[in-house]
Amino acid sequence: MSGVWIFAENREQSLELLNIGGELASQIGTKLVNIILGDNGQAQDYIDYGADEVWLLPALGPDQTLLAYAPVIADEAKQEDPDIFLVAGTLRGKELAAIIASSLDTGLASDCTFLKLGADNKLEMERLIFGGAGIQKVVCSTRPQMATIPARTFEPAEMKAGREGIKRELPTPPLSPLKLLARQNRVRESGDIREAQAVVAVGRGIEKKEDIDMIRELADILGGEIGCTRPITEEKHWLPEDLCIGISALEVKPQLYIGIGVSGQIQHVAGFRDARIVCAINKDENAPIFEASDYGIVGDLYEVIPRLLAELKKSGRAN
Amino acid sequence: MINIVSCFKWVIDEAYVRATSSGQIDLESVDYKISDYDRNAIEEAVIIKEKYGGDVTAVTVGSPEASKSIKNALSRGPDRAYFINDTSFADLEPSQTAAILADVIGAQIKYDLIICGEGSSDLYARQIGPRLAHKLGIPCICFVQKLEIKDNQIIAERRVEAGIEIITVPMPALVTVLSDINSPRVPGLKDTLAASKKPVVNIGKQDLSGNYDPKLETRETRAASLKRSCVKFGSEAQDVSGFVQALLKAGAIR
């Protein structure tokens, strides 16, 4: 038996994994299996986007967590022996993947940003290490070769007309001792910074909370969103933690990133490494952020920001 | 009386990692630290002990050079440490670390609650917690930002993309903690002195019988290239104007 398996807890990431998973499956010459949460009606959708087989996980009781599926998926993998198993790297996905990998006694490469079949047909998986300062390329010597994939690493698959596939229901998992008491869905105060075409990030160089207003004005003029470094959320509590950018927080890929009063610690810098243009405003000309920037202004942000706002307004960039 | 185990890792401080001119990772002048989130794990274990009564054992796996971490960890409040070390334990991949921890904790340490950081500062694979829990056959709750114990049950508030989940499970269980669960204390002189009197159990490879072969093999490591233009402007009005022109030219603003 063989196959490339994918699992994601949402449709968006399923489509991304169908794309890369489909590519790998055709290179190996095997089938693409998409394990999904949902009903039979949704299965055809994933077949249209490239799945050869869609396996449905039965709905869970209201007090069960995603982790309850681990034994069911692991049992299937023991029987079917897939070549590759890609799991969407949501936090719950990472937790689930680690438990499944442990059950199967196999290796798991976390948060892979690049996948390629090597000359020996092993899956070469690249991931960041040292807070983003380094890249590690690993292969897995056991089966299945497992990886978690962050959102937006791959383009979504394209729909293909007239595809047919197999639909199958997986068994109901045993009750997990973990009981979900409550779930509070996140309420976003602003737009999604992962979608923003411009991100203006606030760092420790900002002296007081009120000064963020002026940064917000800049973000508005640029048609973007505001983000920040970890100390702003964790020490100062000036902005909510879902605006924190970094390898251990949100990773953003805007057209333009501007760091204001941001020193440029690697953990934060890795969070915008895929931004198209990076700018920095900092009074310390030796701040590491300038090494990671395309354009920088060395100067006091309290002098520079008003000038920058005036310049943008003058050149008609104000929305 | 809760028996708490907190796991920690002695890691290269990523702030000292440089790139060589040929794009390799330069580890010539690095310093080491207790992994960031593991400091939160140790702190949370000590907070739980102070709040509910208990006992804290800190455990690490690493090369013999990681011995420097033991006193550092103990100065943060645990009662004792287990130092599992061998020259071959320097660059373990997550499945190996978890298997070694599970063998030692399972056989030698009494536990009701195991606390790990959500991930290590060097590899940040976020696998040790769930893998260790699975090997020990206990439930795990990852990414916890608030932890309480009531009637032998853990009540954990954890943060995932969709929002907050409040999950409960009877002990024994394992949790991994986020960095905002607490602010790790800064050990003082008294704590450092006290740390040197605390018991340390040394465990070598010869004391272990499991198979700890790696399942991931590293084929290559290299520095992450930033490839930025690094153009600097001054802060006067004409400089700021030049900066805006550059952004317009690059198509970064419309």
Contacts of A61 (CB under 8 A, 6+ apart): A175
pLDDT for residue B215: 98
pLDDT of A319 over the 60 cut:
no
| Mean pLDDT calculated for residue range A38-61 | 93
| Mean pLDDT calculated for residue range A190-207 | 89
Beta carbon pairs, A and B, within 8 Å: 264
Q: Supply the CATH number for residue B178's domain.
A: 3.40.50.620
Q: Are A295 and A275 in contact (CB under 8 A)?
A: no
Contacts of B252 (CB under 8 A, 6+ apart): A198, A255, A256, A276, A277, A279
pLDDT for residue A315: 74
Query: Cβ–Cβ of A136/B218 closer than 8 Å?
Result: yes
pLDDT for residue A190: 61
Report how far residue A178's alpha carbon sits from residue A66's, in angstroms, rounded to the nearest whole number: 10
pLDDT for residue A69: 98
pLDDT of B39 over the 90 cut:
yes
Residues 128-187 of B with CB under 8 A from A: 129-131, 133-135, 139-143, 155, 159-170, 179-180
Assigned domain for B221 exists = no
Residue with more model confidence, B198 or A317: B198
Exposure string for A13-38, b = 16+ CB within 10 A, e = fewer: bbbbbbbbbbbbbeebebbbbbbbbe
Assigned domain for B214 exists = no
Query: Cβ–Cβ of B127/A101 closer than 8 Å?
Result: yes
Nearest residue on chain A to B23, judged by CA atoms?
A: A134
Give the closest of A142, A266, A296 to B215, CB-based. A142
| Mean pLDDT calculated for residue range B67-78 | 97
Q: Enumerate domains of chain A plus CATH numbers.
A: 4-169 (3.40.50.620), 198-314 (3.40.50.1220)
B77–chain A Cβ distance below 8 A for any pair: no
Residues 110-169 of A with CB under 8 A from B: 110-111, 118, 124, 128-142
pLDDT for residue B25: 95
Assigned domain for B73 exists = yes
Give the closest of A133, A285, A291 to B224, CB-based. A133
pLDDT for residue A182: 96
Query: Cβ–Cβ of B233/A297 closer than 8 Å?
Result: yes
- Report the 3 state secondary structure along B149-161: EECCEEEEEEEEC
CB atoms within 10 A of CB A185: 8
Domain count, chain B: 1
Tokens of B16: 């000292």
| Mean pLDDT calculated for residue range A211-235 | 93
**pLDDT tens sequence across B121-176:** 999 999 999 999 999 999 999 999 999 999 999 999 999 988 999 999 999 999 99
Contacts of A108 (CB under 8 A, 6+ apart): A97, A98, A101, A140, A146, A147, A148, B94, B95, B125, B127, B216
pLDDT for residue A192: 80
Count, residues in chain A = 319
What are the Cα distances from residue B113, in Å, to A93, B11, B72, B122? 23, 24, 22, 25
Assigned domain for B240 exists = no
Assigned domain for B44 exists = yes
| Mean pLDDT calculated for residue range B250-254 | 86
Percent of chain B at pLDDT > 90 equals: 91
A74–chain B Cβ distance below 8 A for any pair: no
Residue B85, SS3? strand
B241–chain A Cβ distance below 8 A for any pair: yes
Assigned domain for B250 exists = no
pLDDT of A187 over the 90 cut:
no
Give the closest of B122, B139, B167 to A180, CB-based. B167
**pLDDT tens sequence across B20-29:** 989 999 999 9
What ipTM, to 2 d.p.?
A: 0.94
pLDDT for residue A1: 62
Residues of A in contact with B160 (CB under 8 A): 90-92
Query: Cβ–Cβ of A183/B228 closer than 8 Å?
Result: no
Average pLDDT value over all residues in chain B: 96
Query: In sequence order, what E strands does chain B have?
Result: 2-8, 10-12, 18-19, 25-26, 32-34, 54-62, 80-85, 113-117, 140-150, 153-160, 163-170, 173-177, 200-203, 216-223, 231-233
Residues of A in contact with B217 (CB under 8 A): 138-141
pLDDT for residue B46: 98
| Mean pLDDT calculated for residue range B63-68 | 95
pLDDT for residue A41: 84
pLDDT for residue A317: 55
Residue with more model confidence, A315 or A283: A283
Range of the domain at B150: 2-207
Element (H, E) at A96: helix A91-103
Nearest residue on chain B to A291, judged by CA atoms?
A: B230
| Mean pLDDT calculated for residue range A231-260 | 92
Assigned domain for B236 exists = no
Q: Which of A10, A84, A85, A102 to mutate to test the interface with B (most CBs of B within 10 A)?
A: A102
Exposed, middle or buried, B181 (CB in 10 Å: 0-12/13-18/19+)?
buried
Give the closest of B125, B167, B224 to A135, CB-based. B224
Assigned domain for B17 exists = yes
| Mean pLDDT calculated for residue range A14-18 | 97
Q: DSSP character for A318?
A: -
pLDDT for residue A188: 63
Residue A220, SS3? helix
Q: Which of A277, A295, A300, A314 to mutate to test the interface with B (most CBs of B within 10 A)?
A: A295
Residue B100, SS3? helix
Nearest residue on chain B to A130, judged by CA atoms?
A: B122
